[in-house]
Amino acid sequence: MYKRILPLLIFTCCACTVAAQSRLLKWLRTENDTAYIEDHTEDITFRLYGSRKFTSYDISDRKQSRHILYRPNTPFNIGVGANYRFIGLNVGFNFPFINRQNEKYGRTKYLDLQTHIYLRKLVVDLYWQHYKGYYVSNAEDVFGKSYALANPHPQRPDINNLDIGANVQYIFNDKKFSYRAPNLQNEYQKKSAGSLIVGGEVFFVRVKGDSSLIPSNLKDTTFLRKEHYYRTTIASLAGNVGYAYTFVLRKHLFLSLSVTAGLGVASTKLNMEDGSTSRQIGWHFSNTVRASLGYNSSRYFAGIHYVGMTNRSEMPIPHTYQAFGTGNLRVSLVHRFALKKPLWRQEQLRQVLNKGV
């Protein structure tokens, strides 16, 4: 009896899964308005690029209007990449002769798996980052002028962070507005257009050091009410809304701007130096900015594009908050190579799905 039922259940589950995938693929497809968007996803999009990924951790006391700004030392990488349909690959290299002036900021070890997926109806930002080695970027404000003259970039090689998060946003005007054009360069936005964007995000952030994240030799010792913690953990959930618009001048020059703001809640935990812990559930604010500027045509693209995300969460200490940010700045030179025939046809995928159903 069970030997007959089990294969039937497996077949039914597989059929339902394939059917759901087929409906999802159908929903994700968009028939672009060709007067606004020229599709080049079936061309080979080849790029030469330079990029810098970054992250930041800020501690702020609103009552005193003072901040401690921690930054890692990240290199500017040069690389090559290519896109075909939904497949993309970029390989970057750290050339010492480009980043030789960065030694004054200390050494940072990092693994940054930040990726941004641009579908026609959805934008998906995924983050998995681990950085170790930070420096204080506003030394004069934190320690005073005399100290900053002798130590312009105070280093904290012990501070490290773990950041895991996802942000998913829906594009309402997907037929006329293209995120892919400035960011993936496999579409060409021919006319100005914009879109409302709505989504949600979830993040987990942990920052810790071998000693207090609040230095003991501050210029103002009342900062953060003299509270000292060596580790913080933040888990947040928020919804967001925003707008994106691409201005096209003379068919080829473009400026693309996108700003979203989020509101939600965050659970924050501080591990204090005296061995105690402090917890709070409070408001969480976020924003994501995407900006691009350059030239685009049927075959060529040259531009600068930036993606930056900032999360701001209240702390258990009154009138204080923490801000965690991350992003990517990139310069790209692109050429699209038209293929005489596609490497594979969409009909082949549809046939496979239909046979499964």
Q: Which residues contact 93 (CB under 8 A, 6 or more apart)?
A: 77, 78, 79
Task: Report the C-alpha gap between 228 and 274 in whole angstroms.
Answer: 8
Does any domain span residue 98? yes
Q: Per-residue confidence at 85, pLDDT binned at 50, 70, 90?
A: confident
Domain-embedded: residue 3: no
The number of residues in the chain equals: 357
From residue 201, give the alpha-carbon distance in Å to each of 123, 286, 309, 328. 12, 9, 11, 18
Residue 351: inside a domain: no
pLDDT mean across residues, the chain: 87
pLDDT at position 346, please? 55
Does a structural domain hold residue 20? no
Count the domains in the chain: 1
Assess if residue 140 is contained within a domain.
yes
Residue by residue, what is the 3-state secondary structure of the chain? Answer: CHHHHHHHHHHHHHHHHHHHHHHHHHHHCCCCCCCCEEECCCCEEEEEEEEEEEEEEEEEECCCCEEEEEEECCCCEEEEEEEECCEEEEEEECCCCCCHHHHHHCCCEEEECCEEEECCCEEEEEEEEEEEEEEECCHHHHHCHHHHHHCCCCEEEEEEEEEEEEEEEEECCCCCCCCHHHHCCCEEECCCEEEEEEEEEEEEEEEECCCCCCCCCCCCCCHHHHCCEEEEEEEEEEEEEEEEEEEEECCCEEEEEEEEEEEEEEEEEEEECCCCEEEEEEEEEEEEEEEEEEEECCCEEEEEEEEEEEEEEECCCCCEEEEEEEEEEEEEEEEEECCCCCCCCHHHHHHHHHHHC
Q: Looking at the predicted structure, is the pLDDT value of residue 124 above 90?
A: yes
| Residue 319 within a domain | yes
CB distance 327 to 337 below 8 Å: no
pTM of the model: 0.84
State the pLDDT confidence band at 13, using cuts at 50, 70 and 90.
very low
Let me know if residue 47 belongs to a domain: yes
| pLDDT surpasses 70 at 168 | yes
| Mean pLDDT confidence for 303-328 | 94
Distances (CA, A) of 289 to 77, 200, 332, 345: 22, 15, 19, 35
In degrees rounded to 5, what are phi and psi of residue 298? Answer: -65, -25
Q: Which of 17-21, 31-35, 43-47, 201-205 has the lowest mean pLDDT?
A: 17-21
Residue ranges making up the domain that contains 283 = 37-343
What CA–CA distance (Å, rounded) separates 353 from 16?
Answer: 11
End-to-end alpha carbon distance in the chain: 25
Distance, in Å, from the CA atom of 269 to the CA atom of 234, rounded to the nearest integer, reads 7
pLDDT at residue 92 in the model: 82
Evaluate whether residue 145 is within a structural domain.
yes
